[in-house]
Amino acid sequence: MKKKTKINTIRNIGVIAHIDAGKTTVTERILYYTGRSHKIGEVHDGEAVMDWMQDEQERGITITSAVTTCQWQGKTIQIIDTPGHVDFTIEVERSLRVLDGAVGVFCAVGGVEPQSETVWRQADKYGVPKIIFINKMDRIGADFLGATDMIKERLNAQPLILQLPMGSEENFAGVIDLLAMRQITWDEETLGETYTVSAIASENLEKAQQYRELLIETAAEADDDIMEAYLAETSVSEKMLIEAIRKATLDLKLVPVLCGSALRNKGIQPLIDGITRFLPSPADIPPMKGIDQESGETVECAAKDTDPLAALIFKVAMIEGRKLSYVRIYSGTLTAKKDVYNPTRKITEKIARILLMHANKRERVASAGAGSIIGVVGLKSSTTGETLCMPDHPLLLENMEFYEPVISVAIEPKTHSDQEKLDEVIAKFIAEDPTLRCRKDEDTGQTILSGMGELHLEIIISRMLREFKTDVNVGKPQVVYRETIDQRGASEAVFDREISGCHHFAQVRLQIKPSKRGSDITFKSQDEELPAHFLAAIRKGVMESLASGPLMGYPVTDVEVILTKTKSKESLGSELAFTVAASMACQQALADGKPFLLEPIMDVEIFVPEAFMGDVIGDMGARNGKIESIEHRAGSQVIKATAPLALMFGYSTALRSATQGRGTFTMQFSHFDRS
């Protein structure tokens, strides 16, 4: 019988950062030093435990969130290693939705990079307490204090320095622990497994005392006991500091900062201590709230095994052709072979197996309690973002939000046997990935696959062949535009028809007018006497019509639809009639509103040596890019610009060519604007 884990000893954490900051390398060291792995897997060798997919190993990047569990000094740490590439932002979003704490990994050279800001904002959105590990202190250009200043300026966070690096670049030797006032150096021959704790060297003592004083001052601002001791000029113990820092971290007032070099096996053990000391257990965070499906009231889901079940499916994966659902249990206990209820779909499903996850390896267990992150086999219909509860306690947790795709490719099967498999394979990918969309082009008969970026779609097509032996021809990537209008349009439509022996009649008049960019769609009614079910039918007809614009069939956005008048004949009015009449009126009003296209505009950040600045800026201008700012950072120039996605295809090749392979860039969606 597996020993039960106490809930206050659990730490559910995510490792989040910009691409190539060293998230997976940090995670691999955590697994090695906690005894979960018996060797260190390197990303550059394609042997990282957490990067288990073939595409991840070949490209040296994380594509899908991987879950694992390890033990450290009586604490159970459940880790999700998340991707850093912007195309896979949804993996970070849904991981942060279910995590209690996060470790932000920052490069000591690059500091706060674009995707670092994105994942930090995602963590802030869910109120996730964070600690920071400034990695790559051994690299040329490493600047610990510079990176800390950037964190304060760009992330609007209050960093609390708990360690100072001993040296930097090739002279990085270890860290000075400001809590215990000691220095730690690692033995490179034992892969950092053994380390030496000693008194702070005399040449570092003055600086250490200065930053220890700053640490106490900052902690005092967040804790009354520390403030009293500080004002009374009495000594502040390490225990007092740890308790105060933990509370301030959980309250999102402070962010503890540690440093090291994961690749050189330095600084990881104190980071694990930081995770267990400062990040919350499931019992420390506010209870998740849900809606009781019987009373409609908001209820709290306390982190107790004995309470009614409340669990969220945050990810679905197809592994070896079988559906595996990743579940976070907020309260209650999930038991194998028992029925659970899905209030979103109003269905009951049976849990076949419950699995503890270690990347792509699994350990079978009979049950799991509050605070657990587990894999579940047996859920046939339930999918990402849906709630699992008990049939006699129906409860709905808040749904997850997903991003809209910005890029499409046309795909077609190479052989007849591929044709038979294609629809089934795509359905499996869409079940896994809510940001993936698929539709059939009625004019060409092609299958159009839409995703978050070129790499996103490239990985999906690669997996089609590798995992499902389905080969496809791929067309040139196409931008997913939006449509909107330039002026007010109005129209009236009548639906008067007999269908299956029943007469249906409805008359709908509406206006449609442009609204400010980024406002999406708003719907208002001026007909106060219209019954609610007919109003819902009209809204449905309007939304269906706006899903396909009059120009090229792209979704319509940034418009306000106003229902001005309706008419029906006694006993002939029906929901069908109002839906169709509203759809017809909306289409006519759109056509009168001078429709035009909106194209996706991307935020681009380019890192380039100064010698190539002119060529890069000239090329960006040729792509209709607008330079927002240029700043110097860590030996290179950083160009921030916005540019239309349609003109950014193949930019990585062009940039490498213009900078002799020394330039890099990141790109993420900003907004839609007039093309």
Contact 87, 115 (CB under 8 A): no
Band the pLDDT of 632: cuts 50, 70, 90: confident
pLDDT at 65: 61
> Given this model, what pLDDT does residue 420 score?
75
pLDDT-based confidence at residue 43 (cuts at 50, 70, 90): very low
> Which tokens sit at 277?
């000391």
Q: pLDDT at residue 516 above 80?
A: yes
pLDDT digits (tens, 9 = 90+) for 301-321: 888 888 999 999 888 877 766
Mean pLDDT, residues 200-229:
90
pLDDT at residue 56 is higher than 70 = no
Judge whether residue 255 has pLDDT over 70: yes
- pLDDT at position 44: 43
Q: Tell me the mean pLDDT in the region 387-397.
A: 90
Q: How would residue 602 be classed by pLDDT, with cut points 50, 70 and 90? A: confident
* Residue in the structure block whose two tokens are 């060409």: 444
What DSSP designation does 20 have? T
- What's the rounded mean pLDDT across residues 655-665? 77
Between these two residues, 478 and 246, which has the higher pLDDT value?
246
Identify the pLDDT of residue 4.
Answer: 58
Query: What pLDDT does residue 581 have?
Result: 93
- 619 Cβ contact list (under 8 Å, min separation 6): 654, 655, 658
Q: Residue 88's pLDDT band (boundaries 50, 70, 90)?
A: low
Residue 369 has pLDDT above 50, yes or no: yes
Bridge partners for 350 per DSSP: 339
pLDDT confidence tier of residue 45, bands split at 50, 70 and 90: very low
Alpha-carbon span 429 to 295, nearest angstrom? 36
Output the six-digit token pair for 552: 């090229």
pTM (predicted TM-score)? 0.70
Quote the pLDDT of residue 508: 92
The arithmetic mean of pLDDT across residues 237-242, rounded, is: 89
Q: What is the pLDDT confidence band of residue 469, given thresholds at 50, 70 and 90?
A: confident
What pLDDT sits at residue 444?
59
pLDDT in tens, 144-167: 999 999 999 888 889 999 999 998
3-class secondary-structure state, position 365: strand
pLDDT of residue 668: 75
Predicted local distance difference test score (pLDDT) of residue 62: 45
Distance of alpha carbon 630 from the chain centroid: 28
pLDDT > 70? residue 37: no
Phi, psi angles (nearest 5°) of residue 585: -65, -40
Q: Cβ of 110: how many Cβ atoms within 10 Å?
A: 24
pLDDT reading at 47 higher than 50:
no
Mean pLDDT, range 275-300, rounded to an integer: 89
Per-residue DSSP letters for 93-140? HHHHHH-SEEEEEEETTTBS-HHHHHHHHHHHHTT--EEEEEE-TTST
Closest to 656 in 3D by CA, of 606, 601, 621: 606
For the cut 70, the answer to whether the pLDDT of residue 286 exceeds it is: yes
What CA–CA distance (Å, rounded) separates 379 from 361? 19
Mean of pLDDT values over 253-268: 93
Q: What does the mean pLDDT of the chain come to?
A: 84
Nearest partner of 306 among 283, 333, 341, judged by Cα: 333
Q: In the chain, what percentage of residues exceed pLDDT 90?
A: 35
pLDDT tens per residue, range 98-124 = 889 999 999 998 888 767 777 887 788
Say yes or no to pLDDT of 574 above 50.
yes
Q: How far apart (Å, rounded) are the C-alpha atoms in residues 568 and 113?
A: 59
Asked if residue 163 lies in contact with residue 181, where contact means CB atoms within 8 angstroms, the answer is: no
Q: Higher model confidence: residue 341 or residue 407?
A: 341
**Of 158, 160, 206, 159, residue with least CA distance to 181:** 206
Express as a percent the part of the chain with pLDDT over 70.
90
- Categorize the per-residue pLDDT at 443 as very low, low, confident or very high, splitting at 50, 70 and 90: low
55 contacts 121 by C-beta, under 8 angstroms:
no
Residue type, 230: Y
Q: What is the pLDDT, as a whole number, of residue 59?
A: 45
